Amino acid sequence: MPSRLGRTLAVSVLASLPVAAHAGPPLVCFPIVIGNAPSLAWGSGGGWDAARPDYDRARLASDTVSLLGPQTSVLVRMETLRRAAIYAAGNEDAAKGLFAALRRRAAEPGRGKTDPLAQFDLGYAVEAYRQARPVLNRSAVAGPPEDGYALVRQALAARGPDPEMEYAAALMTCDRSRPGGPSQAHLRASVAGAAEGSDLARTIAAHRALWGDHVQGVAAAAR
């Protein structure tokens, strides 16, 4: 059953789209709220890019995969992959190693079928990396060939209702949104399932520049 927060905000979410103008690509410049959950090494401060200059990029693939266990929430996966994309965008060898590892996981069958979380991880990483390269002046580096959004849609279809994964899909499509476009449906499903005071509600509130003033209700409920 949708949360009270979701029921309150669902109508205003739809009424406020198409998406407001914002600064920076959404998968890179808007961190995900994950509290103290383990993720890739990162600096302090409130900015979107706190990559640590002393982090060993040669460890990026193994560190990232080790954090993406079956019990890791989708929001933590999103923030971990956002950080990974930023590290990878500045190091071509790290990028190759990261995507090779993610592709292997996505291709491995689990219990006779593809693991939707592994599909999600590859898809989200692909799109985050595509957005990170021009921000970090690496647009000349060839990007991965996969359609990240298609992979995330497949993961959603296999996994079933998941408001956090719906929010990931909303972020991936918000720049392409038009009335009736995919971002509206994904955002509506995400907001409807956001539990009061959850990290998802806090993340939506923190992303007010993306979605408009209607997220003030999320921020108030999350306090």
- The C-alpha atoms of residue 127 and residue 217 are separated, in whole angstroms, by 29
**Angle, helices 199-206/163-173, rounded to nearest 10 degrees:** 20
- The C-alpha atoms of residue 181 and residue 192 are separated, in whole angstroms, by 18
Q: What local confidence, expressed as pLDDT, does residue 159 receive?
A: 92
At residue 174 the predicted structure's pLDDT band, cuts being 50, 70 and 90, is confident
pTM over 0.75: yes
Closest to 60 (Cα-Cα) out of 84, 96, 90: 84
Q: What local confidence, expressed as pLDDT, does residue 185 receive?
A: 87
pLDDT, tens digit, 9 for 90 and up, residues 107-123: 977 655 679 999 999 99
At residue 13 the predicted structure's pLDDT band, cuts being 50, 70 and 90, is very low
Q: What local confidence, expressed as pLDDT, does residue 50 receive?
A: 92
